[in-house]
Chains A and B, each alone.
Chain A
Amino acid sequence: MSSVLEATRAGAQTAPARRPVGWLRATVERESVFSWMIVTPPVLFLMLFLGYPFFYGVYLSFFQREVARPATFVGFGNFVKLSQDPIFWLAVKNTILFTAVATVLKASLGLAMALVMNQDFKMKAFTRAMLLLPFIVPTVLSTVAWQWIFDPGMGLFNRLLMISGLAKTGPSWLGNPTLAMVSIIMVNTWRGLPFFGISILAGLQTIPTELHESATIDGAGTWGRFWYVTLPSLLPVIFIVTTFSIVITFFDFQLVYVLTGGGPANSTHLMATYAYSISMGAGQMGLGSAVALSMVPVLGLLLAVLTFYVRKA
């Protein structure tokens, strides 16, 4: 049987190569056409499931549109209304603060986590897998667990404070406006840390060891190697991860919705939760869309500043 197969294959190999027949085949073979054919389905998918809601949101933001009622064009009326709404401005401030602090924490702790994970130690693979857990567990589920951790009487934090004798009674993590903001930043940092850690770790492993060796020969110590070799090599990775993180953190909704609902006294209301409560809660689809749309320029500005800073650096 094998001789038959080999004879067949040999025949096939000696036969002259078949030439494309027809203009369609020839067109498909062209690099420019084929690449568009590959790209078109995901682009269409994105346009349908991201582009359509986005442009529909833009459209809605110019209308007074209540649930189950026809829309009335109001131009920039919704944005004017928002500009006079103190809770909207509080939500903007909260969102920027939340995003900035959480991102800085995630980036610095993520870098530290990656540096540690890049060392050789026992059960390294297991530890790396464990560190991914916060990223894997569904946010709503982990946030419910955090609710228990923040519980004033039964929660882990206050129990530790009381057992260690640092406090007689622990603070109210979600009842105090400042601590509530600290708490949601803490949970966001915990959840987003593995994303930074693993991505930076991947970046660390691409740095050639020769660079470190050369730096060592030139007299660089641990800090010198980190500052002049490791960090500059990691900057592109850190920039990309930070950019993604800013976008994700800026639009965070679930953990605030589950933990505080934006309270107490709107102290943890983010733009996403405020947009949700106005549109899906109060039924003001136009006004809610205007809040959501207002996030775009703020986010754009943040990203532009970051890009400018990194390029300059």
Chain B
Amino acid sequence: MAQPAHRKPTRRDFLKVAAGAGAAAGITGAPWVVRDVHAQQKPKVIVFARESSYVKNFDEHFQKVLMPAYEKEKGVKIEYQIQAAGGSAVPQLVSMVENKSGADLAWVQQEWLYRDALVDVSDIAEEVGKQQGGWYDEIKSLSVDKGKWKSVPKGNIGQLMVYRKDWFEEAGIKKFPDTWDEFLEAGIKLKAKGHPFGMSMGHGFADNYSWMYPLLWSHGVTVMDKDGKKVALDSSETEKVIEYVKRLYKEACIEDCIGWLDPANNKAFLTSQISCTNNAYSIMVSAKRDLPEMGKVIDHALNPAGPKGRFHSLVPVTHGVFAYSKDVQGAKDLLRWLMNPKQYRPWIASGDMYFAPYLHGFDKVPEWDIEPRVKPFQKVLETGKLTSWPAPANRQHGEVVNRWVVIDMFTKSLTGTPTKTAIADAVAQLKTIYG
């Protein structure tokens, strides 16, 4: 059988195909067509964005218990968008705010950057406070802006000293050091035995701030004054603290920790490279799950005290509703429902108290007895301060945190810059930022 001769495609053929494909894509992809068809069939949806939790049960409880319960009770579906943990959430939130699209309700990390895009949730926060023993004062500095609650605090991710009890005992240290000086002595002993400390000092967002700021505060140093108008970092005490950190780094720490991002100290601890770091209790969670022998010998301790007291840094988790949401009321209804003790308490418990509520009603609840080594994380709330403390938690503070002004003051001095120059550089940066 003779084969039909192939005709060379002409330009007209190409245009026909292109036009046909374009039309097909246009019809099938036309959002108005698809939405109109399905709008009447789909239930109402509220998008809730959160950073993933290190405690697996916490996210599972939300997905398996709370989401179906809310849909059953209110007829509203929750779309749970889990963002990867480790610093990627803030850019995503900034992007949502800039594009005015995305989640309706979210864990609003670093909310000082975009408070203007959040709606007033005072009614919910005040109701929750009344119901559950009242809010801790410090968290109000973050969530309350110009007299209005812009977010409802969910809980604090406690940051404490995490250490290998067995190695400390081997080095003759029966009790975790109570002061920063004792902490340095212990570190020197441990490093001599091949178990250095690993205190994060890189461009992370939690494990560096959580010991460096408390160290400064416990020596009476703050970055700004109470009003956030005057730079307070330029002091002789700052010099002393930097000299202390130089010794701590050189004599007690693993060299690598100067460049660590947040996940690095978890990795170093779990691979037995360090004996102590400052972290949330995610290290213990991972060890108990994957390295049970190590899980038994990990313990937590409060930050050591300095001449001006003992301090901790708060890592707040707050929930806010975006003003751009097409269903602000629906998002607020969901937030109110989640913060109701009926839902809130089991939700918090499902995370093994990883998120410590900023509510006094939770100070002595039996959920804290789930694991004795978790209990110290409740104490963080008593001495915990926002990294902006005592200044307001505002945009300028956000810039200081995200440009690592204070962290780099330390690391510059550790890498050869004279202490006074490192302080002067940081002060100059602060003056530029605060104007």
Contacts and interface: CB of A to CB of B under 8 A. Distances in A.
Does B associate with A? Answer: yes
Interface of A: 1-2, 5-6, 9, 25, 28-29, 34, 37, 66-69, 81, 84-87, 151-154, 171-177, 180, 260-267, 276-278, 280-285
Interface stretch (B32-40, B197-205, B304-312): B197-205
B432 A85 contact: yes
Contact of A265 (B97, B113, B415): B415
Given A67-B113, A67-B117, 7 more contacts: A86-B425, A152-B254, A261-B203, A263-B202, A265-B415, A280-B94, A281-B91
Given A34-B11, A260-B202, A280-B91, A172 B403 contact: no
Interface in B66-115: 87, 90-91, 94-95, 97-98, 113-115
Contacts of B412: 265
B257 interface: yes
A260 B203 contact: yes
B403 A277 contact: yes
B97 A175 contact: no
Contact of B94 (A34, A67, A154): A67
The 6 nearest A-B residue pairs measured at CB: A261-B203, A281-B402, A68-B117, A283-B113, A172-B255, A280-B91
Nearest to A267: B415
A69 to B, nearest CB: 6
B4 A5 contact: yes
Given A261-B204, A281-B91, A29 B403 contact: no
A264 B95 contact: no
B256 interface: yes
Interface stretch (B151-159, B216-224, B267-275, B289-297): B267-275
A152 B273 contact: yes
A87 B402 CA distance: 13
B395 interface: yes
Given A153-B273, A175-B257, A175-B258, A264 B411 contact: yes
10 contacts: A37-B15, A68-B97, A86-B425, A87-B429, A175-B259, A266-B404, A281-B91, A281-B402, A283-B94, A283-B399
Given A277-B402, A282-B113, A81 B432 contact: yes
A282 B425 contact: no
Contacts of A172: 254-256, 258-259
Contacts of A2: 1-2
Given A153-B268, A261-B203, A285 B116 contact: no
B4 A278 contact: no
B399 to A, nearest CB: 4
Given A66-B395, A177-B415, A261 B1 contact: no
Contacts of A34: 11
